[in-house]
Amino acid sequence: MAGQDRSRADAAVLVLEDGTRYPGAAYGARGRTVGEAVFSTGMTGYQETITDPSYAGQIVLMTAPHIGNTGVNDEDPESGRIWVAGFVVRDPSRTVSNHRATGSLDDDLDGQGIVGISGIDTRAVTRRLRSVGVMRAGIFSGPDAALDPADQLAAVLGSEEMAGQNLSARVSTPELYRMPAEGERIGSVAVLDLGVKASTLRYLTARGFEVIVVPEAISAEEFFALAPDAVFFSNGPGDPGASDRHVALLREVLERGLPFFGICFGNQLLGRALGYDTYKLPFGHRGINQPVVDRATGRTEITAHNHGFAVAAPTEGVSESPAGFGRVEVSHLNLNDDVVEGLRALDLPAFSVQYHPEAAAGPHDANYLFDRFRELVVSALREPQGGPRSTGEAQGGGR
């Protein structure tokens, strides 16, 4: 940047679709980016956040004021690249101080072409999003920072809204691959990759599963030709209401009585497969400090979240699946706003949670759910084949 007016060259602005503007300094790559503006309340785990495929299409604002002090490394990414559409921080760290660091967050964002902004009042932006709801937004830096404000706003308003978008094809693996079980193999699990995180796959293999990760575009014939002992639907970005093909596949899984576990997007798809609707939350749940009660144990867990949609299922008592899959109960509930955080089918070997029990980044309170899934599959493999099985006792077990 020699010979340039650094203050002018480093100017940046965050523009919300309601016309609100927040001037700041360029961070990461220079240019422009648009996406849905969301905030994450985690004080740590920014590298896991930006590499989580569920954030595809979103400009992520970190509510913690100081970001980047531990740099980046080669061990913590949840995928092979950064997925956020843009990144917003208040005070980026000037130095990297961690023995595991291999580089700085700023350089990593720049190297992967991720446009960011720093030096803005992230509290003010968070309050705006909490009051109005998530909005489309744009970050403009470098030459784009000097564009007419009307042109910047037009670029934001011309971008796609998250509602109605099916983004799984953007983040899914293009080809099937396998991961061997660690220790004694108990069976195989077919993982529909809708944006799966690396830590999720590690937790499955650590519990004796041979993991078969399949593309989201796989046909039902190809899927069932794999003859999996169990099925897992991963987290991922986009609107569950735009994933009819995945819902149809999951309904066939349920009809065949295969043990099923879903996380985040997988929870929303289980809700739809059971016949419930999904809806968009005003500003969603994102971060690593969300309180959820597990109704089977009565225990409150601090959990990691990243979702802007939720399942509209009755939260009290047991309901009948509108799609004819028997009795269903809401197994987990968010204590902040009573949003459905988990579903359990009482007449089928199927359950799901809306949050991220793999804890990357985040607390390990809900890690036992992988053990619960293992117990469910082991129980199913011991039973004679022949259609759906009642597994209420297996799913309701302890840790």
Structural domains in the chain plus CATH codes: 9-157 (3.50.30.20), 168-395 (3.40.50.880)
The type of residue at 378 is: V
Can you name the residues that pair with 309 across neighbouring β-strands? 280
Q: What is the pLDDT of residue 364?
A: 57
**What angle do helix axes 244-255 and 265-274 make, rounded to 10 degrees?**
70
* 38, two tokens: 């969301």
pTM: 0.88
* 222, two tokens: 């190809």
Does 264 participate in catalysis according to the annotation?
yes
Q: Is residue 161 classed exposed, middle or buried when 0-12, 13-18 and 19+ CB atoms within 10 A define those classes?
A: middle
Say if residue 238 carries a ligand binding annotation. yes
Does 160 participate in catalysis according to the annotation?
no
Can you name the residues that pair with 263 across neighbouring β-strands? 353
Say if residue 308 carries a ligand binding annotation. yes
Q: What is the pLDDT of residue 2?
A: 36
Q: What is the pLDDT of residue 399?
A: 31
Q: What is the pLDDT of residue 238?
A: 93
User: Measured between alpha carbons, how far is 73 from 99 in angstroms, rounded to an integer?
Assistant: 10
Q: What is the pLDDT of residue 359?
A: 61
| Residue among 210, 264, 301, 329 flagged as catalytic | 264
Q: Could you say which residues of the chain have pLDDT below 50?
A: 1-9, 386-399
Say if residue 31 carries a ligand binding annotation. no
Does 356 participate in catalysis according to the annotation?
yes
Closest CA to 352 of 269, 295, 285: 269
Q: What is the pLDDT of residue 6?
A: 38
CB-based contact 369:353 (threshold 8 Å):
yes
Q: What is the pLDDT of residue 42?
A: 84
Say if residue 331 carries a ligand binding annotation. no
301-316 per-position pLDDT tens digit: 998 888 999 999 999 9
Q: What is the pLDDT of residue 366?
A: 61
